[in-house]
Amino acid sequence: MTSTEPRPDLALAILDAPETVASRRGLRDQVAALQERLRQVLEVDWAPEVLAAAAVVPVAERPRLLDLGELERVRDDLVAALDAVRGAVLARRARHAENRALLERMFDDPDAHRGVRLTTDDLGLPGCCRWQVAPVLGVVGRLAGWWRVKVSSGCP
């Protein structure tokens, strides 16, 4: 029996011709490779907006033996999700770079950045530290125009 002939022992008639077992297995391998790539990207950048970009509408409600068209849809959805995740990661990194530059400007010229506040999350750093441009000595500093970057002591 050649690989293109229908398999009488296949559970579902819809899965027989013209598609083949080999083509479905090839697609499952592609799906597995894409899933692994997606997992690796998420492992490096585990953030809500990145996770949201990885969302895919499932093809089935219960585990099923998918036909060729369904497997192609799973693969295409995964490719799209991977692109979206990479886009989200790049956007996030660009935002972090902008915020780091802003933090440097805050230190260089606090008076020009009154009240600006950044957190470790804004900078893509671990922990829960906070940088805020605040007046020295409260109201006195506010009236006198004495501003500085105050660094929080981190997590409680």
Partner 1 sequence: MPDVRAGEVDPVLLAEFGPLELWTATVVVVRAAARAGRERLGRLSGSFHAAERIRERGGRLLDVAYPTFERQTGLDPAVPPTALERGAREVVVTGALASTHPVDDVRLAVLAEVGVPLTALDAAATIGPWRLTATRGEPYSDGTPTTAGDLVVADARGPVTPVVGDPPRRLAAGPRTREVVLCAVRVPGIESWEVSEAVWRAANYLAGT
Q: Applying CB under 8 A, which residues contact partner 1? A: 7, 9-12, 15, 21, 24-25, 28, 31-32, 35-36, 38-39, 42-43, 46, 51, 54-60, 62-66, 70-71, 74, 78
Query: Looking at beta carbons only, is 22 or 140 nearer to partner 1?
Result: 22
Q: Is the peptide bond between 126 and the residue preceding it cis, with omega within 30 degrees of 0?
A: no
The CA distances from residue 82 to 40, 45, 87, 151, in Å, are 11, 13, 9, 37
**Nearest-approach distance from CB 124 to partner 1, in angstroms:** 15
CA 80 – CA 53 distance, rounded (Å): 9
Provide the minimum distance between the beta carbon of 33 and partner 1 in the complex, in angstroms, as a whole number.
9
When the beta carbons of 27 and 106 are compared against partner 1, the nearer one is 27
Are 147 and 135 within 8 A, CB to CB? yes
The minimum distance between CB 118 and partner 1, in angstroms, equals 24
Residue 74 or 118: the one with the smaller Cβ distance to partner 1 is 74
Distance, CA of 119 to CA of 128 (rounded, Å): 7
In angstroms, the CA 129 to CA 120 distance is 6
| Closest CB 104 distance from partner 1, rounded Å | 30
Cβ atoms of 79 and 44 closer than 8 Å = no
Is the Cα dihedral 52, 56, 57, 58 positive or negative?
negative
Smallest gap, in angstroms, from Cβ of residue 8 to partner 1?
11
Give the residue with the Cβ less far from partner 1, 25 or 105.
Answer: 25
CB nearer partner 1, residue 55 or residue 143: 55
